Amino acid sequence: MLHRMEIKNLTVFPDLNLGFARNLNVIVGENGTGKTHLLKIAYTALAVSSEQRRKLTEPSSPPSQRALEVRLADKLVSVFRPEQLGHLVHHRPGRGSKDCEVTVHFDRQNLDIAFRFSTKAEAEVEVRQVPTAWLETPPAYLPTRELLTIYPNFVAVYENHYLNFEETWRDTCILLGALLERGPREKQIRNLLKPLEDAMGGELELNKNGRFYLKTKNNRTEMPLLAEGFRKLGMLARLVATGIFLDKGFLFWDEPEANLNPKLVQQVAQSILALCSRGVQVFIATHSLFLLRELEILLASEASGAVESTFVGLHRGPSGVFAKQGKTVDEIGDIAALDETLRQSDRFLADT
């Protein structure tokens, strides 16, 4: 479990100290308040640890400070895509150059990591606290764009040519291409998959040529001909089918409601809560009032009584973006994007 994260001088954030719930973490804010940046910085720290562990010939070997520094610098640039690493440092006029400092705390202290970098360094990270163990479960990151249509050969092209795409796309495509889980735990996967496949009207299939199809009783539909909302559900369905969430793990999902109609948003909310109930720690960024209310309705039900959740509201202040946390949306302050949705409803009702 990711327990807490302390951030100083990262992009729009001068100073943040966030505590995370064991299951569901919802980051809310209008455009430009750094929702995606929070997902990415947390994802980067987790991904570097799990990736380095997989590369070792002896997984029990302890983390190396120098190896972490090199990989963190590379991963930060690859995930955020700045022209240079120092551009990620929060700039306050008249304050001079500052270091960006990030500390990530887990429920297992041997995974804790702290690092920093400055505006002066093009690609240099200093690890100030070295973990003594590796993260065993790879995190999954679902971007706002669906990836099933670009999946064929994307990883091979990405790794052999320079493409100005976020490395989260490449990481997720690798997970999408993993082998399906078979064996005694397959029944657990089917329970999670069924509502997703019912919503899509079929099951996802990856053929030998590396192309995804939606397979129904009567035919197969290639991904480019499928509605984008179904493709987004398909990404989650494929990750579930590979078994990545059977051993708990982490899911980061940026604007899960994007390009989905309200009916599918309800299904997404139900699937998110189902993963949380299985012990997956989920982080989502959104400014959708519909999704937020759907999550709150589900959290209030008896079926989701054991799901621990927290909401984070991001707000602009004089020196940058600050955060308010709470157990419900009503506790995180006024969010302009949500307020405008309510005002529109009021205007509509007044006109009718």
Q: Does pLDDT of 49 surpass 70?
A: yes
Domain positions in the chain are 2-139+249-351, 161-247
pLDDT attached to residue 42? 97
The two structure tokens encoding residue 290: 């519909």
Q: How many CB atoms lie within 10 A of CB 255?
A: 21
Nearest alpha carbon to residue 48 among 125, 155, 178, 139: 139
Which of residues 181 and 231 earns the better pLDDT score?
Answer: 231
Q: How far apart are CA 83 and CA 60, in angstroms?
A: 35
pTM (global) more than 0.75: yes
Min mean pLDDT across 117-121, 137-141, 336-340 is at 336-340
Residue pair 26/295 in contact (Cβ under 8 Å)? The answer is yes
User: Which SS3 state, helix, strand or coil, does residue 320 take?
Assistant: strand
Q: How far apart are CA 217 and CA 222, in angstroms?
A: 15
DSSP 165: S
Q: Does pLDDT of 96 surpass 60?
A: no
DSSP 23: S
Q: Does pLDDT of 163 surpass 90?
A: no
Return the CATH fold of 2-139+249-351.
Rossmann fold (3.40.50)
pLDDT attached to residue 159? 92
Q: How far apart are CA 113 and CA 132, in angstroms?
A: 9
What stretch of H or E contains 199? helix 186-200
Most trustworthy range by pLDDT among 50-64, 91-105, 179-193, 201-215: 201-215
Residue 301's pLDDT band (boundaries 50, 70, 90)? confident
Residue 340's pLDDT band (boundaries 50, 70, 90)? confident
The predicted-structure confidence for 272-293, as pLDDT tens digits, reads as follows: 999 999 999 999 999 888 999 9
